Structure 1
């Protein structure tokens, strides 16, 4: 009976530890917006990487432009996050258009490397009668570090470019409206890597000496200015720590349970000598 109670206690302890680790591994829902007012993003877009309009995940950025323009926005993505970019283009009145048009979004990291989409409709052709066109791009999870030759996404700034790639020449210059939003999913330790970057990939980031000088002068550095709402995590924490600790405790409990089950099996029982 004592052995059964010991094993039951070990099982309950293991289940509790795994329950603590589970939320980080199963959190697969977009990051919620803190409040309705926080959803308001910039109402204009840049026309180059340098002038890209900054917004945060959970916000909605909007812009009005002429068909044929390149529109740029930038948002931060941190270690363990998997961003999903969504764009909605409100097209000019159908009576003013002369044919179908193909729209496209592209996403670039802080090194201006184009990032492929895991899935989603990155490019779509809108018929002449269509009122809107919707685009989406689900990026790969952001890693804390990667090999220099790889194209893996790393923490830092991510640029979204929206433009029309094919349309009748007569439709160039017609006005349109665009809305951009980004949601993130925390993938946790499933994509964790050893090591991390010295600093997130943020264009215009200052050197260590300049960052120290900015801190002494009370100025924010480029990395701080581009940080997410909760700051950069630097990749030091993931729920892999919880799974590792839970595995170690379960292994110890299994050893104790095995000892309890086999204790005394290899030794003859002591029989008191006859009187």
Structure 2
């Protein structure tokens, strides 16, 4: 009976801790639709339009333009970038491509998704998607792993007929992310996020001197989510279960506790 009560308490603790962990795996909430959504795109990395996750941005342009947006991504997030290009009424076959770059302007590979797609002649629109790898808190300098900071989205046509060049098009871009949690945690953290503009953005300190600051992305207490992750929860659960298993094994093997009867000497 005692062992049953201990196992019941352990299972209850497991269920309580598994609740927040399951919530971490759900998609991040979408931003409410409002009038603050960007309606234009940049034409280069330096002029990329900033958008938030969960916010749908729109832009108008011409076939052949490079359209740029930028968004923030933090440790443990797996961003998904989706784009829809609204094509003119009359056009030939053309291929559009969606590329994502990190703060160092390194092109990031997509786990899955239609990163490049060809629109048939007369098609009204074409949809593209790119699911990035999970953002890591730390990586080797030579690695191309996604790290916390700013990410760039570039949308452009890569193959079309010369007669279609310059025709007006519309674009819609949206970025959402799924929080992976402790499953993607690593033993290390990035000193500073990969956010461009640190050298060109400045503010005055108490002495009046100017010092470099980060871009507008990020919260007041820094970029990183901190040292806490749900991996600590599962580690604690494992320790509790190991202790209960040890106690249960001792209870089962210690016997009744009474000394055995010793036969008298003959």
TM-score scaled by structure 2?
A: 0.88
Aligned residue among 218, 243, 248 for 2:239:
248
2:172 match: 179
1:103-142 residue pairs with structure 2 within 5 A?
A: 103-142=96-135
Give the Cα–Cα distance (whole angstroms) in 1 for the partners of residues 68 and 214 of structure 2. Answer: 19
Give the Cα–Cα distance (whole angstroms) in 2 for the partners of residues 257 and 198 of structure 1. Answer: 45
Query: 1:51-98 deviations in whole A, cap 9, x for unaligned?
Result: 00001110001100011000100000000000000000000112xx2x
Contact 2:70 2:153 in 1 (8 A): yes
Query: 1:174-223 deviations in whole A, cap 9, x for unaligned?
Result: 1100000011101001110011011111012259xx98955887x99643
2:137 match: 144
Contact 1:80 1:144 in 2 (8 A): yes
Give the Cα–Cα distance (whole angstroms) in 1 for the partners of residues 228 and 203 of structure 2. Answer: 25
Give the Cα–Cα distance (whole angstroms) in 1 for the partners of residues 205 and 162 of structure 2. Answer: 49
RMSD: 2.8
1:236 match: 227
Give the Cα–Cα distance (whole angstroms) in 2 for the partners of residues 17 and 230 of structure 1. Answer: 31
Give the Cα–Cα distance (whole angstroms) in 2 for the partners of residues 243 and 58 of structure 1. Answer: 29
1:201 match: 194
Moved more, 234-243 or 118-127: 234-243
Give the Cα–Cα distance (whole angstroms) in 1 for the partners of residues 220 and 62 of structure 2. Answer: 32
2:158 match: 165
Aligned residue among 248, 261, 264 for 2:255:
264
Aligned residue among 64, 68, 73 for 1:72:
68
2:29 match: 32
Contact 1:205 1:222 in 2 (8 A): yes
Moved more, 259-268 or 83-92: 259-268
CA distance 1:47–1:214, change in 2 (3 Å) = farther
Give the Cα–Cα distance (whole angstroms) in 2 for the partners of residues 65 and 193 of structure 1. Answer: 41
- SS of structure 1 residue aligned to 2:83: strand
Query: 1:72-130 deviations in whole A, cap 9, x for unaligned?
Result: 00000000000000000000112xx2x20000000000111100000000000001110
Query: 1:134-169 deviations in whole A, cap 9, x for unaligned?
Result: 000000000100111111100000000000000001
1:54 and 2:50 are equivalent in the alignment: yes
Name whichever structure is richer in helix by fraction: 1
Contact 2:25 2:181 in 1 (8 A): no
- SS of structure 2 residue aligned to 1:31: coil
How far apart are 1:234 and its partner, in Å?
4.1
How far apart are 1:229 and its partner, in Å?
9.6
TM-score scaled by structure 1?
A: 0.85
How many pairs were matched up?
A: 261
